[in-house]
Chain A
Amino acid sequence: MSETPHSDPARFDPEQVGKLFLGRAHPGWLGLKYSDHGDNWVELELPWSEKLLGEPDRPVLASGPIVSLMDMASGMSIWQTHGTFLPVATLDLRVDYQRPAKERSAVWSRVECYRITRSAAFVRGIAHDGDPDDTVATMAGVFMTLSADPRQISRTVADQAAAASAASEAGTGDA
């Protein structure tokens, strides 16, 4: 297979992978969308939705969807930092809520992966509703990196999307 220097098909591409696998299952139900990325971070958007309200008398987003948003952005930031898809399981995720999100506003989460070791990946991030300096929530998480079989390292974006939805998030893989 030929590779151009500008587009390595083996490299994890959060925008392309996001298009393919954010549309299904729980992330699809929430309506999560790719927003932006850098070398070691990924930002996703949680659009405003009436069904995600957390209180009966105020149009304020529940906190649960923010955990889902940050969990997804965490996984994608690990793959972005690692460069290829890597099977991971969430071990521990802590979210601190600074304030409710603005009424009828989308929420964005930007998560960076600041360290990957042989057995773990460490992430931290923020959630905001338009101004990253005025956070809605901050989070820290640790993911276990599951033993990667080199034969399973995916070679194309489509393979990555399939692999990502097949082995992302939620719980240890050894149960």
Chain B
Amino acid sequence: MHEIDLPAYARALGISIHDLEDSVPVLTVDFGPNVEGRPQHYHGGATAGLLENAGYAALRVKLTEEGREARLKPVNITVQYLSAGKSQASFAKGRVTRLGRRNANVTVEAWQADRRKPIASAVMNILIA
């Protein structure tokens, strides 16, 4: 069992944990009407939702490793859309670039069949309360 609990929004959208890589979760979502924008493509908001949840998951793992219990408050997210999300599964994994006492900087990438070709990336700033 994975220790990461995804929020209701993530579960409702269809996001689940695909794998753990060095204990960092790789999240995935299958293509379907919930995430569709223009026909047969991901909506930018759904892609952002996947990125954001992967960012939080990576940060929660890091905090747990350090024995810290914390409530996370989003400060901002900047999403770069790199190429269109096609009608297939998407994946995302976050990396905590800096973890401070009061805030964390997280970068996230999302990809589909070819991990070397990300479809979107994000930087997030998260307050740790």
Q: Which of B5, B52, B84 contacts A170 (CB 8 A)?
A: B84
Residues of chain A contacted by B79 (CB below 8 angstroms): 67, 90, 92-94
Interface of A, helix, strand, loop or mixed by DSSP: mixed
Interface of B, helix, strand, loop or mixed by DSSP: mixed
Across chains A and B, the number of contacting residue pairs, with CB separation under 8 Å, is 152
Residues of chain A contacted by B82 (CB below 8 angstroms): 171-172
Does the CB pair A171–B45 fall under 8 Å? no
Closest to A165 in B: B38
Total interface residues on B, CB under 8 Å, equals 42
Residues of chain B contacted by A171 (CB below 8 angstroms): 41-42, 44, 47, 81-85, 119-120
Total interface residues on A, CB under 8 Å, equals 44
Does the CB pair A62–B81 fall under 8 Å? no
Residues of chain A contacted by B49 (CB below 8 angstroms): 62, 64-65, 67-68
Residues of chain A contacted by B53 (CB below 8 angstroms): 64
User: How far is A66 from B43 in the complex, measured between Cα atoms in Å?
Assistant: 13
Does the CB pair A65–B9 fall under 8 Å? yes
Does the CB pair A26–B74 fall under 8 Å? no
| Cβ proximity bits A158-174 to B, threshold 8 Å, 1 near / 0 not | 00000001111111111
Chain B residues within CB distance 8 Å of chain A: 5, 7-10, 12-13, 33-39, 41-49, 52-53, 71, 73-86, 119-120
